[in-house]
Amino acid sequence: MTNQLVPSLYIFTALECEAKALIIYFDLKKDISSKAFSIYKNSDIILTVTGVGKVAMAGGVTHTLALFPTRQLPIMLNIGIAGHKTQKIGTLYSAVKVTDTDSGKTFYPQMVNHKWGELGEIQTLSKPCEQYSLEFLNDMEAAAFYEMAVKYSSSELIHCLKVISDNEESSIKEINAKIVVQWISEQVDGIETVLVDLRKRRSTFHQVASDVFEQLIKQWHFTVSGKVKLKSLLMRWELLSTENWLQKNPQEFISGKSILTKLESDIDALDIHL
């Protein structure tokens, strides 16, 4: 059974200590009905503590979006800690590139504002690592979060925010829950700045593609993630073209999936000629 709450912001942390300051700041209450994951919420925000690692994070994102399906493109954030070779402990970073070191998959969050603290690249590992790089932050969840989140929202609204927790001079073994709460607490103003920018960005999406979107979902079946993808693609089409996509494609479709495939192909063709 799905929940009637329709949030606009989803936050995912791996650890309870990463979530605590955010729970306090946003005045979130625990959802006692959730058994699979610890979920905290208010009328507009869902925060899920997924557990450590890629499998746990992917499961947490999927479970949460099934439990609280959205009717609009949501803001989705992965907030937590990460290591780096030299960067100062407690520094807030926004990811401009996220790489899964196991699969080689790479994701590029689309930055709305380049003043969200420091900008950096994340490599997502399968286990804790003290082999640091000057190029990457080390974490264990960001790639799995991003890979699942893009099924439900637009890349402009999906971001990974990390606080430096360890480096060559301060071992990962020195991290404890109390200090993590403090680090995240010290960065809530920076996190709020990101949210203000993202909410402004999302507000520009609301009036785009609504008529065509409503017409298509009434006529064809789409999954929850399919509806999100359809809206995102229609928005992109209308930003790149002055034509009505549905009028341009009067042919009979056989399924919602075939509509998504054709729309994606038409957008790619537009991009080539820009």
> Rounded CA gap, 88 and 189, in Å?
18
Predicted TM-score (pTM) of this structure: 0.80
Q: Are 107 and 143 in contact (CB under 8 A)?
A: yes
Which two tokens mark 71?
Answer: 């009717």
* Structural domain boundaries in the chain: 9-203, 210-272
Count of CB atoms situated within 10 Å of the CB of 81 = 26
Q: What per-residue confidence (pLDDT) applies to 112?
A: 78
Q: What per-residue confidence (pLDDT) applies to 273?
A: 38
Positions of E strands within the chain: 9-13, 29-30, 38-41, 45-49, 75-83, 92-100, 106-107, 118-124, 136-139, 158-166
Phi, psi (5° rounding) for residue 160?
-115, 120
- Homologous superfamily (CATH) for 9-203: Nucleoside phosphorylase domain (3.40.50.1580)
Mean pLDDT in consecutive groups of 10 residues from the start of the chain, 274 residues: 71 97 96 90 95 96 86 88 95 95 92 82 92 91 94 88 95 94 96 93 67 84 80 75 77 84 84 43
Helix axes 188-203, 16-25, angle to 10 degrees: 70
Which two tokens mark 103?
Answer: 């699969």
Q: What per-residue confidence (pLDDT) applies to 3?
A: 58
Q: What per-residue confidence (pLDDT) applies to 10?
A: 96
Give the DSSP H/E element, type plus range, for residue 28: none
Q: What per-residue confidence (pLDDT) applies to 137?
A: 96
